[in-house]
Amino acid sequence: MKSWLTTTDHKRIGLLYFWTAFVFFLLGGIEALVIRLQLAQPSGHVVSAETYNQLFTMHGTTMVFLALMPLSASFFNYIVPLQIGARDVAFPRLNAFSYWVFLLGGLFLNASWFVGPLFKAGMLNVAPDGGWFGYANLTERQFSPGPNIDFWLLGLQILGISSLAAGFNFIVTILNLRAPGLKLMRLPVFTWMTLVTQFLIITAFPVITVGLVFLMFDRFFGAHFYVHGAGATPLLWQHLFWLFGHPEVYILILPAMGIVSEVLPTFARKPLFGYTVVVYSGILIGFMGWGVWSHHMFAVGLGPIADSVFAATTMLIAVPTGVKIFNWIATLWGGDIRGTTALHFAVGFIAMFIIGGLSGVSHASPPADLQQTDTYYVVAHIHYVLFGGTIMGLFAGIYYWWPKMTGRLLSEPLGKWHFWLQFIGMNVAFFPMHFIGLLGMPRRIYTYSPDLGVSDLNLVSTVGAFLIAVSLLVFIANLWRTRSRGETASNDPWGGATLEWSIPSPPPVYNFSVIPTITSRLPRWRTELHAPMQDPPATPPGPIHVPGGSWWPMVAAFGLPLMALAPLTHTLWLAFVGAGVLIVGIYGWAFEPFEV
């Protein structure tokens, strides 16, 4: 237990990220099932309006910040150092700090479900209830007097620190720790997309931090950053939030695109079609993602010039995305296809992401968007992108890299059952939402009239949601079975082209017995110019230094939720205690000899 609590090994931290994020993913899924039960029929009475508001707020916040981002981070941690021929990340203790801050931030947010009695309220009464986007001026103290929004804004600031710490760490790792000969244009696409994602994280999260600090000053110190009556504008929050929020969508989807770009070549037995174009289109998506945020705001009256500009940029960003899709299809074309579960999820990703992308293009037109905004059409769009896209891509990565991470192969028959149940379930759940929205059902309402004519479609959608739940039970059964009865994995069970397949499964603590020298973009495959590389020897020729464990990252991380409790409970001394714990942790960290 101590070795896990103090670990600075990127592989163990990757597994900690995976299991923690997967638990939060299940929690967000349970919240979604309760939402769907409430909406299964008109005038539902499963939960009250107040609880419903908390459910959809926590569902969105949990899935975006506590499930999808950290599930991607589990692959960043585990796979990227292996793909670039490194022994660990650049800053191993900062990596551990990032994980503990994420865990404590997630627990802080979810504690809001249970601590109502401490705030003289009932259970299930003080969870965040202003939507995952927290629109002003609903979040002002006048309209949300309880601690609900306080939990949300403080929890997100804690999670932002975790993301920023990881972002800087991986940028330095990828740029500085590559094996000899591993030029940037020889990097695997997953590592490239990770690099682009980290630059988006370190530039987007400061924007939401500014917005949250303004909101904190409004709520705790009587400022008026978003109060119209004081000469400010609530639209400032929308601009700050979506200036972060749209790059955030690409933070969520680019890692999945990178995973798919690794899985398809391996199971088509041919190199990725147009590698250079795929890399540049990923970089272009990262840049262009900063120029489209106001398409979330076509309904606020920005005027014809702004609407026209953001309509054009939103249509333009479909171009690099479309380029990737054509390259993925061309990679499969004429390949020696092996229909593994990982390939099923990768191809499912392409199909579902196309549907999500097409409904997104319909939001690029302001007149169409005015009809669709705040209806279930938008809910359908975001779920096709983030469930059909990100989740499908992440599951492709899980089935692909699980043997490398654990030394055992997941069951292929169970994997196929998982895929088809999830694929059918998500389409049954989310496709009807396009029609529910176009027929006029607003999002974020806890009940609806039978006269609206969407009762049957809502019931179908709820059935689909429970089908997704069944598919996840199959996946959990697969994980459980694989622990004891899974087939033992060799170094390279799939015949992959990249460096992680040249070392044992799971890798030793030092990763590579000898750091390889790279001469090709596909080092383990024979190409016209290069023979496949020799795998590193099984045992290192000499002793290898690896970082030891440390308690200090965890100690420092504990200071942050303690500081957040101070404004939440209006207890000043807690702020000093939290700051003291943080400072002691940082000093202990700074003066600790970092040897084995």
Q: Reply yes or no on whether 17 is catalytic.
A: no
Q: Reply yes or no on whether 275 is catalytic.
A: no
Distance between CA atoms of residues 246 and 204, nearest Å: 9
Which one from 12, 186, 219, 295 is the annotated catalytic residue? Answer: 295
Q: Reply yes or no on whether 530 is catalytic.
A: no
Which one from 93, 418, 443, 524 is the annotated catalytic residue? Answer: 443
pLDDT score at 150? 96
- What residue type is 229 in one-letter code? G
Residues of the chain with pLDDT under 70: 594-596
Q: Reply yes or no on whether 359 is catalytic.
A: no
Burial label for 210, CB within 10 Å (0-12, 13-18, 19+), is: middle
Which one from 52, 100, 132, 417 is the annotated catalytic residue? Answer: 132
Cα–chain center distance at 399 = 17
302 backbone dihedrals φ, ψ, rounded to 5°: -75, -20
Q: Is the pTM of this model over 0.85?
A: yes
Q: Reply yes or no on whether 135 is catalytic.
A: no
DSSP letter assigned to residue 224: -
Q: Reply yes or no on whether 4 is catalytic.
A: no
Q: Reply yes or no on whether 98 is catalytic.
A: no
Distance between CA atoms of residues 405 and 415, nearest Å: 17
Which one from 178, 324, 418, 524 is the annotated catalytic residue? Answer: 324
Q: Reply yes or no on whether 416 is catalytic.
A: no
Q: Reply yes or no on whether 11 is catalytic.
A: no
Q: Reply yes or no on whether 434 is catalytic.
A: no
Which one from 11, 36, 59, 270 is the annotated catalytic residue? Answer: 59
Q: Reply yes or no on whether 250 is catalytic.
A: yes
Distance between CA atoms of residues 260 and 192, nearest Å: 13
Which one from 10, 93, 186, 246 is the annotated catalytic residue? Answer: 246
Distance between CA atoms of residues 425 and 463, nearest Å: 8
pLDDT score at 538? 82
